[in-house]
Structure 1
């Protein structure tokens, strides 16, 4: 039998925004599971899409056996009320049979149906994988555990952390390997970047000692996930006070198709849960030569309040200055220049409006329509009307569906966030957004 290639999602969740890790056992505490207990009570926007009780890096080696028992105890007691998926991370290493065996023993113990945790668990996270044969070893351990405990084969999802060059290259083998009768690799769920250990494996050096950004790794992980029908998640952003940097990282990731990110604190969880969702209100941006800045929405006008761009009306035209560079323009030339300098970030309501308009035209037999976006831009009290037309066809519609599909996936799988979504968008927009495209 030949391998079956596919790129469709094989799990209920189509998107993961947040991957939140918690130590499974804290040394020196009267209750070593106290952080697990606290995390198990998270709800709403503070609760991640995937919670990862972390029995690897976040837990001291001497505490990991106790950590496995803590996972069982806390998940058995609180897992039913936890609002999203639970995927513990266990120990593993491509170069250490002893470590792999310890991880296998922990999975076997945690998944024991008699202990009551497995009914609330969705899978496990495997760190430090190597080449594709190493992934198959982990998969085989999962299959053994499932058979040992009378679970359906493939019922436990497996996610891996890409922390080596070998693992990065292995992502290119997935389409050929998944679906072969000799493995259960279709259990794969997430591909998660681990930039710290990846940096060590690559022997990379930076002058400051900071981690490289590794945009290539993030692109390759997103591509590998797309090709194999999986979900891509970026690694931890460890400067937990740098909220703007975290947002910029997520924006960069989202442009690569990587909508999920590791979260180290409940505060980061909130940021990462909200970041991929369409904004509640649209806004106009203007490029001032160094960055895109928000224009001040004053109802019928969008007003620039910075000092890098100036506009003066002369007797027969205009003088536009950007960062000291002046241009003498007539009205049509100025309008074209401002069209190049401005951009519009659509709100959820805007996106749904456009999709509904296209659906109506398509149902009436029209294959493509023009959507107009207009504004009055005010710079130094000089007002200029601009307008642009964008052609919408089926491909444009499908591209616009991605953020709406994300919203629909969140709405379906996270009922604990319904109130937050209604507060963000309003009930009517939420209702329309859940219906569009269906």
Structure 2
């Protein structure tokens, strides 16, 4: 395949929202496989798009051989019913031939057709990769596994954890390397950030000892995935009680095109599974000078209930106070001022409705149409009408298609979530969302 085509997805799944790891063997337990056995039973919104039985960092070195055996046992027994993809993580290290050999041996064991697990495996996750030559070694080892067991070449996907500066730079080489006859790098599926080891590799220091935010790494991983037709996934958010922080992280990632995130608990899986999907109802947000606050809907009116804004009538005009700043405005100026302060977050129904309107106009020969968004904003019992027009053309339509495409991918590949999606949106909206754009 020509490298210029590698911005096209090469795998059946076009989106991955959730990357959930669980230890393959727990020391001191009567059933050392209890964690992966439990994970294999997850369904609906608690089940990830990609489940990673983790035979690397999550499993003690002394337990990893037992962990590999546990993967075979659990996946062969329960993998056929698991609703997501299954990609075990094995040991690897760019600087250690011995570690790489251990990874090869365990992949050979896990993928042995006689043991019954490989038919439910979708690929392997390779950690601690370095430069592009190291990625090729991992690819070659998986090719060896396929040849050894009579599997179709390229049938096992490969995902990597970006945990070093060398791996970050290697993402820029993928477009040139993928598709060459000397490798099978087209098996690549996900690029996953590993900020902890990346911080160690970069020798970064923070005053508190907390991890740096590394927004550049997340941007580079998203860009590398986009350029090579892969899926980008953010690393773990280890403060598992900080639900709001997890949501903020996902919102920031999604603005970079990184729609997947590592999940450490079934609770995080639920949050991440829902996060990338459009909300069930639209809402207006108002920037009060310090933060965006949600307005409360009261019939056809959106009510501001905060204390940073106040509005009063002043003769023929109005006085709008934002913090300590007073602004004397006439009716038109007030409307324009508030229009600059508010934003609308569209629901799934809103997005689909706009797309349907554009498709109808386009099919009738119109290349661009104006979409009006209007609201009545109430502050201190004073109502102000605001409205604006947004031009929709083909580019706007395609950009708006991304969250709908995500929904369609989920609906196609996760039938275990159909009931929850219909409860969230209503059967009518779900039907329209699955049909729009087709």
Instruction: With the length of structure 2 as denominator, give the TM-score of the two structures.
Output: 0.99
Alignment of 1:97-116 (within 5 A): 97-116=97-116
How far the C-alpha of 1:6 sits from its partner, in A, is 1.9
Match of 2:298 in 1: 298
How far the C-alpha of 1:5 sits from its partner, in A, is 4.9
CA distance in 2, matches of 1:128, 1:98: 14
Match of 1:387 in 2: 387
CA distance in 1, matches of 2:145, 2:381: 71
**Cα deviation 1:65-106 (Å, max 9, x = unaligned):** 000000000000000110010000000000000000000000
Alignment of 1:204-223 (within 5 A): 204-223=204-223
- Point out where structure 1 has 5 or more consecutive residues left out of the alignment: none
CA distance in 2, matches of 1:125, 1:48: 15
Match of 1:435 in 2: 435
Match of 1:125 in 2: 125
Instruction: With the length of structure 1 as denominator, give the TM-score of the two structures.
Output: 0.99
Q: Secondary structure at the match of 1:93?
A: coil
Match of 1:136 in 2: 136
Q: Secondary structure at the match of 2:142?
A: helix
Runs of 4+ with >6 A deviation: none
Match of 2:326 in 1: 326
CA distance in 2, matches of 1:3, 1:387: 46
Match of 2:56 in 1: 56
CA distance in 2, matches of 1:302, 1:20: 39
CA distance in 1, matches of 2:210, 2:383: 46
Contact 1:94/1:134 (<8 A) preserved: yes
**Cα deviation 1:36-65 (Å, max 9, x = unaligned):** 110000000000000000000000000000
Contact 1:4/1:180 (<8 A) preserved: no
CA distance in 2, matches of 1:69, 1:348: 44
Contact 1:335/1:386 (<8 A) preserved: yes
CA distance in 1, matches of 2:386, 2:429: 27
> Is 1:338–2:338 an aligned residue pair?
yes
Contact 1:5/1:176 (<8 A) preserved: no
Across the two proteins, how many residue pairs are aligned to each other?
A: 438
CA distance in 2, matches of 1:233, 1:7: 16
How far the C-alpha of 1:3 sits from its partner, in A, is 5.6
Alignment of 1:67-106 (within 5 A): 67-106=67-106
Match of 1:154 in 2: 154
Alignment of 1:204-283 (within 5 A): 204-283=204-283
How far the C-alpha of 1:2 sits from its partner, in A, is 7.7
How far the C-alpha of 1:4 sits from its partner, in A, is 5.8
How far the C-alpha of 1:314 sits from its partner, in A, is 1.1
Contact 1:5/1:178 (<8 A) preserved: no
Match of 2:415 in 1: 415
- Point out where structure 2 has 5 or more consecutive residues left out of the alignment: none
